[in-house]
Amino acid sequence: MASSLAFYTPRVLLTGVAGITAIVPYIADYNETHVFNPRWPGHARFHNGQTMSMGSYLGVLTLWKTWRGGEKDNLLTASVIAAAYYITMGSAYYYPGATAWDPPQHFTVPYSHLYVVIPMLSIVATAFGLEQWRVTAQRSGEQKKAQ
Would you mind telling me the total number of residues written for the chain in this entry? 147
Q: Domain tally for the chain?
A: 1
Domain of 84? 2-146
- Weakest mean pLDDT among 16-20, 42-46, 92-96, 107-111: 107-111
Instruction: Determine how many CB atoms are found less than 10 A away from the CB of residue 103.
Output: 8
CA-to-CA distance for 120 and 122, rounded, in angstroms?
A: 5
Contacts of 36 (CB under 8 A, 6+ apart): 30
pTM: 0.74
pLDDT per residue over 33-87, tens digit each? 888 888 888 888 888 998 999 999 999 999 999 988 655 678 889 999 999 999 9
